[in-house]
């Protein structure tokens, strides 16, 4: 996944640290914001795993540190649930100003309560996901049971949460107590997916039941059976990510392109922006592109890399076909290739001839019980693969202009 460090300013002037993760092989179909759990940060392993699954579905994810946490500015002691909601608004404003307004909000634990709370302020949001979220933000009060008296008496106390010490002020307790989440849930008017584990010892699953009962349709619930609150096992967060990526597609407005088709063997389509090209080979689709440094998006291999891949695939297939016919023990073939040529000049000057000679450096690995004579013969066969022969032959390309709709 393509991960970029970004930052934005919240309503109190603090700079919040974030990572924007974009799909590696296409332009995003939508943008999402991930709100992490109480006292966590954007780099929690579960957050990264869920983001990765969304990227595979073409969704970009902005994950950021709330004020006073991770790499963001500010003091945690001065924050509260209200400030978290404001930070989410700032994150959405950043996306809208520089990329695209978010369509999906994902919140883990108290972050789940925050995304529900902020939804009515973000008209672009079509869907919301909560993971291990409390029904009531005041649920986190149980984390301060031992220090509650000191917080009330002295106005603040050091609290140990997850092995780390945080200063909690009385204003935080007063703020979460003042939140009315029930009406927010009832008036959500967004598609809602609730993910929760029956084994969650931090936020019991009864919280998920309350959220589900109060929410209106469309709403869905999926149990994260066996997962702990932080989804410490990677298989749990991978599963959650796959569920979210599949579920949300129903609620995203993805522009449909005319299906790429042709009566020829291959058809390629390229629009006005960059060099990202759709390729359809019979019923197989792939993407071709150019590196970022020459104006591409790097969403796929370059034309010359595809040519190298063709040579490599043909080499391996031809060697294996010959070995099978001879009943030789060729178990596996690996073909490593590189192409030496300044393809940047070709792209910038397509009308000019290129005087350089193309060099394909090919390194072949063979696995199996083969003697030296067999290996030598297979190396000879490698040079006889059809694509290799084509590259050494005179090639004619006949070009015509198609008139009318493609």
Residue 95 lies in a domain: yes
The mean pLDDT of 383-387, rounded to a whole number, is 94
Reported as a single tens digit per residue, the pLDDT across 298-349 is 878 999 999 999 999 999 999 999 999 999 999 999 999 999 876 455 555 6
70 and 206 co-located in one domain: yes
Residue 97 to residue 92: CA distance in whole angstroms: 9
Q: What's the CATH code of the domain at 351?
A: 3.30.300.20
Percent of the chain residues past pLDDT 70, beyond the cut: 93
21 and 112 co-located in one domain: yes
Q: Which of 69-73, 96-100, 228-232, 289-293 has the lowest mean pLDDT?
A: 289-293
Q: Which of 21-35, 100-114, 326-340 has the lowest mean pLDDT?
A: 21-35
Residue 24 lies in a domain: yes
Domain with 22 in it: 2-138+179-251
Mean pLDDT of the chain: 89
Reduced to 3 states (helix: H, G, I; strand: E, B; else coil), residue 168 is strand
Reported as a single tens digit per residue, the pLDDT across 30-79 is 999 999 998 888 888 899 889 988 987 889 999 999 999 999 999 998 99
Half-sphere exposure of 111 (CA within 13 A, CB side): 29
Q: What's the CATH code of the domain at 54?
A: 3.40.50.1820
209 and 354 co-located in one domain: no
Report CA torsion sign: 255, 261, 265, 270.
Answer: negative
Residue 150 to residue 170: CA distance in whole angstroms: 9
What pLDDT sits at residue 350?
57
225 and 120 co-located in one domain: yes
194 and 93 co-located in one domain: yes
185 and 306 co-located in one domain: no
Residue 97 lies in a domain: yes
98 and 30 co-located in one domain: yes
Residue 406 lies in a domain: no
- Per the rule left: phi > 0, alpha: psi between -120 and 50, beta: everything else, 74 is left
Reported as a single tens digit per residue, the pLDDT across 179-225 is 888 999 999 999 999 999 999 999 999 999 999 999 999 999 999 99
Q: How many domains does the chain have?
A: 2
Residue 259 lies in a domain: no
> How confident is residue 135, by pLDDT bands cut at 50, 70 and 90?
very high
Q: What is the pTM of this model?
A: 0.72
226 and 367 co-located in one domain: no
247 and 316 co-located in one domain: no
Q: Domain boundary residue among 236, 251, 266?
A: 251
Residue 120 to residue 4: CA distance in whole angstroms: 29
Residue 341 to residue 74: CA distance in whole angstroms: 52
Centre a 10 Å sphere on the Cβ of residue 384 and count the other Cβ atoms it contains: 12
What pLDDT sits at residue 255?
65
Q: Are 92 and 187 in contact (CB under 8 A)?
A: no
Whether the per-residue pLDDT at 251 is higher than 80: the answer is yes
183 and 122 co-located in one domain: yes
Q: Tokens 């997850």 belong to which residue?
A: 162
191 and 133 co-located in one domain: yes
Residue 88 to residue 81: CA distance in whole angstroms: 11
Residue 172 lies in a domain: no
Residue 225 lies in a domain: yes
Residue 280: partners with Cβ closer than 8 Å, 6 or more residues away: 260, 261, 262, 266, 267, 268
247 and 356 co-located in one domain: no
Residue 110 lies in a domain: yes
> How confident is residue 166, by pLDDT bands cut at 50, 70 and 90?
confident
């Amino acid at each position: 996944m393509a991960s970029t460090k970004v930052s934005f300013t919240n309503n109190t002037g603090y700079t919040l640290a974030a990572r924007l993760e974009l799909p590696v092989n296409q332009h995003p179909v939508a943008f999402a914001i991930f709100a992490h759990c109480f006292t966590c940060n954007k780099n929690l392993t579960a957050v990264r795993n869920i983001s990765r699954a969304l990227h595979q579905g073409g969704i970009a994810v902005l994950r950021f540190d709330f004020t006073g946490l991770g790499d963001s500015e500010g003091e945690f002691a001065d924050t509260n649930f209200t400030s978290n909601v404001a930070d989410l608004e700032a994150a959405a404003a950043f996306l809208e100003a520089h990329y695209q307004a978010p369509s999906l909000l994902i919140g883990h634990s108290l972050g789940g309560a925050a995304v529900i709370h902020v939804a009515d302020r973000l008209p672009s949001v079509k869907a919301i996901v909560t993971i291990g979220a409390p029904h009531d933000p005041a649920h986190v009060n149980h984390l301060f049971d031992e220090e509650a008296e000191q917080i009330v008496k002295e106005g603040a106390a050091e609290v140990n949460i997850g092995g780390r010490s945080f200063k909690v002020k009385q204003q935080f307790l007063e703020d979460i107590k003042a939140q009315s989440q029930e009406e927010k849930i009832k008036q959500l008017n967004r598609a809602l997916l609730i993910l929760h584990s029956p084994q969650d010892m931090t936020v019991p699953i009864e919280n998920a039941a309350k959220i589900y009962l109060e929410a209106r349709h469309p709403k869905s619930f999926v149990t994260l059976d066996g997962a702990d609150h932080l989804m410490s096992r990677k298989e749990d967060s991978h599963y959650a990510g796959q569920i979210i990526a599949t579920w949300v597609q129903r609620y995203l407005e993805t522009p449909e392109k005319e299906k790429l088709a042709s009566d020829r063997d291959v058809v390629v389509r390229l629009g006005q922006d960059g060099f990202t090209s759709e390729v359809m080979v019979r019923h197989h689709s792939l993407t071709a592109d150019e590196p970022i440094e020459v104006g591409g998006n790097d969403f796929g291999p370059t034309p010359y890399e595809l040519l190298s891949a063709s040579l490599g695939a043909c080499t391996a297939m031809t060697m294996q076909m010959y070995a099978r016919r001879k009943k030789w023990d060729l178990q596996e073939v690996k073909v490593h290739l590189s192409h030496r040529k300044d393809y940047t000049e070709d792209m910038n000057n397509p009308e000019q001839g290129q005087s350089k000679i193309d060099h394909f450096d090919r390194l072949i690995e063979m696995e199996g019980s083969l003697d030296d004579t067999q290996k030598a013969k297979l190396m000879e066969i490698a040079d006889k693969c059809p694509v290799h022969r084509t590259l050494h032959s005179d090639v004619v390309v006949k070009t015509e202009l198609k008139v009318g709709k493609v």
